[in-house]
Amino acid sequence: MTTIVPAPQDRDLDAEQQADIERFEIAIAQYLAEEIPEDVFRVMRLNNGIYGQRQGGTNQMVRIKLPAGTITPEQLDLMGVLADEFSRGWGHITTRQNIQFHYVELTKVPDLLRRIAEVGLTTREACGDTVRNVMACHLAGACPHEKLDVTPWAEATFRHFVRNPLGQRLPRKFKVNFSGCSSDCGQAMFNDIGAVGVTRTLEDGTVEAGFRVYIAGGLGATPHPAMALEDFTSREDLLPTIEAALRVFEQTGNRDNKLRARMKWVVDQLGIEEVRRRVLKVRHTLPASSSWPGGIPPEVVAAGDAAAGRIGSGEVTEVGQGVAVTIRSSDPYERWVEASVIRGTANGTVSAVAYAALGDITASQFRALASIQRELGADVRLSNRQNVVFRNLTDAQLPVLYARLGEIDMARPGAELARDVVACPGADTCNIAVTQSRGLAKAIGDRLEEEGLAEVGGIRVNISGCTNSCGQHHAADIGLFGAERRANGRSLPGYQLLLGGYVGDESIVFGQKALRLPAKAAPEAVATVVSQFAGGRKAGETFSEWLQRSGGAGAIADTLRHFDTVPTPDDAPEYYVDFDETGPYVAEVAESECAT
């Protein structure tokens, strides 16, 4: 274990952020005056978290980083202001715990950046070939199963790498996720670095908390499971380990081909044993570097990282993908409690999920959430399933929270139920999406409601508008990604259906291809699968277990073949128009800006 005491950090992040904004404001003026070429400005724009939209012109998407998904009342209030003054009246929670605003005029971006700086937020490196938002389990610090609270570790990692010269021009993006236990609610298993809280028993019988670090995971068109770097990484060595992995990636990533530039392709080229050797060798010599981040970070020292623990032998809510959520009551409040409340932390508090359909929150909802947070004195996190989680609540506060959420249409039971469909922005705004994934997500949700299947528990549906998996379709029980189809001499929107994706138990299983579907047939096909699962599973059986017992993705696909029939334009013209569109389908794709 490295025991060198780190030098104090003297970076003034506030001053650096203001300097960033001033430089970017000047760059915007130079770009609009055609004094900066498009390719140079694109890098500056992306490194500042600003992504071009498919609408072209000066329409921009602004991505705000929320490390560990943490958000305060002041920040929620500001999100409401931004939605009204800069965007289209609402914002979007991403699968990486960011908040995005679309249709922001380029010349107004510096004002927006100054506004968020006032409440301690930044967009810096939320896009581009950089270290992206550092994620953590939305229950970190409030989970009955965690080995340690990973919240301050995510914050420390964010602060060490934001604007760090090591991460400004990487071969490709670099993603870091934290989970407090092997349930992996933070989804460490498909990221470039995934740190999972673990413990080990020392020779003297004491128990030491630390991490198992996984490297080189990824989704995209070619998914790759993360692999363990070593069995146990001490708390003192965690940040040096992440920096060592980043340095190896910076040195060995493919800078000539972005399609093969992620950390997973470094492992594909060099082999996992060689990558492990290089990372550990760099970590060994890292104390000689001026950027060495060893020791316990000050963020962790200040906040503490002790595990939340459990309340004796009382009720403990299971967490993670595949949990057996069952709604038994007919009372609306009790139904919400059964699906949305997590119990079991040592300090006697509970957590509850506010359901945000499609991850969208209106300006008025943002302000109401801020008011609720103040009223209850709650800690709030955004989840990777695009919901809002209230933590550190007492049982007596739950009825108040339910009533307040009901007033803003966020009190429906949603957590880990079939209605909680996750989708990327898709062709609504994304340059490289080929289908309207958001429109399909709503159509699937509506169909599940109509069929009485929306509250089937323990099943996740995720949708991406292309193969890049921003909607994390590979890791869901039911996943779909958009693809252009051709039939009857015409183009039409289509999807590839995958079944059986799973993340948990420090492992990942990617969904297997079942069959292709016309977009307009996908809602009914998904409802059919959910119905088969709900009617055919055994008590306590997960979707993956049911799928395997039922013969796998191929066997289920055989029951859906009739959905892969494309009628003629005369018989069903709607098949040739995508969701949320009015004209004939056209697969328009612009140059990728590395948005995910």
145-303: CATH topology: Sulfite Reductase Hemoprotein; domain 1 (3.30.413)
**For position 595, what pLDDT does the model report?**
43
Arch. (CATH architecture) of 422-576 = 2-Layer Sandwich (3.30)
Confidence of residue 254 (pLDDT cuts 50, 70, 90): very high
Residue 86 carries which DSSP code? Answer: T
CA angle 15-19-21, nearest 5°? Answer: 120
> By three-state DSSP, how is residue 95 classified?
coil
Return mean pLDDT, the chain.
94
**For position 2, what pLDDT does the model report?**
39
Q: Are strands 50-52 and 59-64 parallel, antiparallel or unpaired?
A: antiparallel
What is the pLDDT averaged over residues 378-383? 98
Give the number of other Cβ atoms within 10 Å of residue 493's Cβ.
30
* Residue 101 and residue 62 in contact, taking contact as beta carbons nearer than 8 Å: yes
Confidence of residue 591 (pLDDT cuts 50, 70, 90): low
Q: Where in the chain is the domain with CATH 3.90.480.10?
A: 332-407
Three-state SS annotation for 353-393: EECCHHHEEEHHHHHHHHHHHHHHCCEEEECCCCCEEEEEE
Facing residues of 126 across strands?
none
Q: Where in the chain is the domain with CATH 3.30.413.10?
A: 145-303, 422-576
**For position 294, what pLDDT does the model report?**
82
Residue 407 Cα distances to 401, 420, 578, angstroms: 10, 20, 33
Cα four-point dihedral sign 548, 493, 463, 538: negative
CA distance 596 to 219: 10
Q: Where in the chain is the domain with CATH 3.90.480.20?
A: 13-117
| CATH node for 13-117 | 3.90.480.20
**For position 3, what pLDDT does the model report?**
38
Residue 538 carries which DSSP code? Answer: P
Q: Are strands 360-362 and 99-105 parallel, antiparallel or unpaired?
A: unpaired
**For position 191, what pLDDT does the model report?**
97
> In this model, does residue 317 exceed pLDDT 90?
no
Tell me the pTM: 0.94
Facing residues of 341 across strands?
352
**For position 324, what pLDDT does the model report?**
81
Structure tokens at 236: 């003192």
**In which element (H, E) is residue 262 found?**
none
Burial of 16 (0-12, 13-18, 19+ CB in 10 A): middle
What is the pLDDT averaged over residues 380-402? 97
CA distance 238 to 97: 22
- Choose the CATH number for 332-407 among 3.40.80.10, 3.40.50.970, 3.90.480.10, 3.40.50.20: 3.90.480.10
Contact residues for 193 (Cβ-Cβ < 8 A; gap 6+): 174, 175, 176, 177, 213, 214, 215, 242, 245, 246
Percentage with pLDDT > 90 across the chain: 87
- Sheet with 59-64: list strands edge to edge: 50-52, 59-64, 99-105, 90-93, 360-362
219 — phi, psi (to 5°)?
A: -105, -115
CA distance 269 to 59: 39
* Residue 533 and residue 575 in contact, taking contact as beta carbons nearer than 8 Å: no
> By three-state DSSP, how is residue 45 classified?
helix
Strands (E) across 28-71 are located at 50-52, 59-64, 70-71
